[in-house]
Structure 1
């Protein structure tokens, strides 16, 4: 499976050294899981218990973000700590310290799209998707879509005042 994933990544064009590094770390984490699944399941269960302490951000109004807006949310100097996975924007500020693999793997992708990195890690989606929903604060929109939406809002506001 790893060979196939690596071939697919290389065939898609230039590959960041970070992706290769994440794949290597994914192999290590997968090996840990295979060698001691009870311990790894315990980590996932522990993570699930931490989520009972967090506010479910998916219940809050969701916002549309541009890539530039998310890039500013790098967790530095008290700023928000967002990552992007599959066009969803997730707030990791409270969760990062509880991540089973530690803070660093998340910090490397703060303010960025981490979709390729999470795929390269080899982590099965079933191990993280149930938790992501609690951290979701919005979605990525292309700059043109965001401008169009803002323009539509202005037009609607003007029409309502005219009528």
Structure 2
């Protein structure tokens, strides 16, 4: 089930105990169980947890990576926040 999260809510998921979430484009992905499989190592995922990782993701990955892993890791989308 997909849920809508604010960037602030995603920022709370930055520890392995609570979960490691990253944002890519408008998707929110739980990479907690993927850290040991990540070819680039766990360190970068832990460093980017709770943040918008779009720029860094597309710098090192092609569209095929998100197509392959995205469906099983995606937990929701980023909710638009009102700008004051």
Classify the TM-score, shorter chain: 0.7 to 0.9
Q: Which has the higher strand share?
A: 2
Does 2:37 correspond to 1:85? no
Distance 2:11 2:67 in 1: 22
Aligned match of 1:101? 40
Alignment partner of 1:118 out of 52, 57, 70: 57
Q: CA deviation at 1:127?
A: 3.0
Aligned residues: 82
Distance 1:141 1:128 in 2: 20
Q: Which moves more between the two structures, 123-132 or 105-114?
A: 123-132
Aligned match of 1:52? none
Q: Which has the higher helix share?
A: 1
Q: CA deviation at 1:125?
A: 1.7
Distance 2:70 2:40 in 1: 16
Q: CA deviation at 1:70?
A: 0.2
Q: CA deviation at 1:80?
A: 1.4
Does 2:73 correspond to 1:135? yes
Q: Which is greater in Rg?
A: 1
CA distances 1:123-148 after superposition (whole Å, capped 9, x unpaired):
2221342111110100001233xxxx
